[in-house]
Amino acid sequence: MTCWTWKVGWTRALALLFLMVATPLCAQDLEPRSYAASPIGANFLVASWGRSSGGVVVDPSLPVEDVEAVVGTAVIGAGTTFDFLGRTALFVGALPLARAQATGRVGETTGSVTRSGLADPRLKLSVNLLGGRALTPRAFVTARRATIAGVSLTVVPPLGQYDGTKLVNLGANRWSFKPEFGVSHAIRKWTIEGYSGVWLFTANDHFYTGDSVRTQQPVVALQGHVSYTARPRLWVAVDGTWYTGGTTSVNGVAKADLQRNSRLGATISLPLGARQSAKIAYSTGATTRIGGDFNTIAVSWQLSWFSGQ
């Protein structure tokens, strides 16, 4: 085998596993209280840092072994609640910066690939339907907490770092959409939640070397959360998710990369003064068929205020 042939083969194999590192991160999201009751006119600013690290389970047909990856993210986000046809709605936007490194072994040779820069941003609109009447802060304080059922749509535009002449990129060069349905039920200080959604993807028609087409099948994702609230902004939750699907193909040739994975985690929210709070979340892979079997920790700071204050 010539040096050139090995290098191309190694780059392709490592790029495939890098794609498996980056792609499941959206499906791995654990988001307790996404459909919790809130008054309209609430605004918030969030800054967060996260780190995911661990092994990557790859297609056994690939000549890659001992795959490890580390993905670090720094995110700035903002959101607001408002009246949408008499229901409470929430709009959130987040802009992430990422640094990802994957290493692995082909035969007796070890290689690595690293990327850093802007990842694809995320926009989300959610509307609480059942039990989600739009209430002012004054009316919200005295309102009875009922079961809430809501819907949301997450949109991920292709604005992250991408170069079609390179196999490894932080951006996906495609649009992603996630419609979701969620239910939240409060029992005194306890809240039980369940979400069901599906990630849908457009094609990347500038895949390596710029003239290939990469497509991906939908990823179905389920989430469950149980949380306990000691007082406002002081709560703890136990989280879980299961997702499946996501088989990819390049120029019509399907890959053996069906995902069927699950994760468990916990989240704690701590008040910091009148308008600030901190949140710490941890999750780990419970079962992993294909993709990243990561341990993930995230720390975020949030500043909240009401319009007119």
Query: Nearest-5° angle of CA 292, CA 77, CA 125?
Result: 85
Distance separating alpha carbons of residues 248 and 22, to the nearest angstrom: 13
Residue 233: which region, alpha, beta or left (left: phi > 0; alpha: psi -120 to 50)?
Answer: left
What distance in Å separates the CA atoms of residue 33 and residue 302, rounded to the nearest whole number? Answer: 15
What is the helix (H) or strand (E) element at residue 91, kind and residue range?
Answer: strand 87-106
Average pLDDT over residues 180-190: 94
Distance CA 303, CA 94 (A): 15
> Which of 29, 44, 157 has its CA nearest to residue 91?
44
Three-state DSSP at 202 gives coil
* Token duo for residue 71: 């993905």
233-265 pLDDT, tens digit per residue, is: 899 999 999 999 989 898 999 888 888 899 999
- The per-residue pLDDT for range 99-140, each reduced to its tens digit, is 988 787 766 777 788 889 999 999 999 999 998 899 999 898
> Which run of H or E residues covers position 7?
helix 3-22
pLDDT-derived band of residue 141, with 50, 70 and 90 as boundaries? confident
Query: What is the pLDDT at residue 19?
Result: 52
Is residue 298 within 8 A of residue 274, CB to CB? The reply is: no
Q: 12 pLDDT exceeds 60? A: no
Mean pLDDT of the region 14-18: 51
Contact 159, 190 (CB under 8 A): no
* Mean pLDDT of all residues in 132-157: 90
pLDDT of residue 8: 41
**Burial status of residue 225 (CB atoms within 10 A of its CB: 0-12, 13-18, 19 or more):** buried
C-alpha 275/C-alpha 291 separation (Å) is 39
Distance, first Cα to last Cα, the chain: 69
For residues 227 and 107, give the distance between their C-alpha atoms in angstroms, rounded to a whole number: 47
Task: Kindly list the structural domains of the chain, giving each domain's residue range(s) and its CATH number in brackets, ordered by start.
Answer: 3-306 (2.40.128.130)
- pLDDT score of 25 more than 90: no
Higher pLDDT, 110 or 201: 201
Q: What is the pTM of this model?
A: 0.88
The CA-based dihedral angle spanning residues 106, 110, 116, 119, taken in that order and rounded to the nearest 10 degrees: 20
Confidence of residue 285 (pLDDT cuts 50, 70, 90): confident
Mean pLDDT value across residues 173-194: 95
Find the helix or strand (DSSP H, E) in which 16 lies: helix 3-22
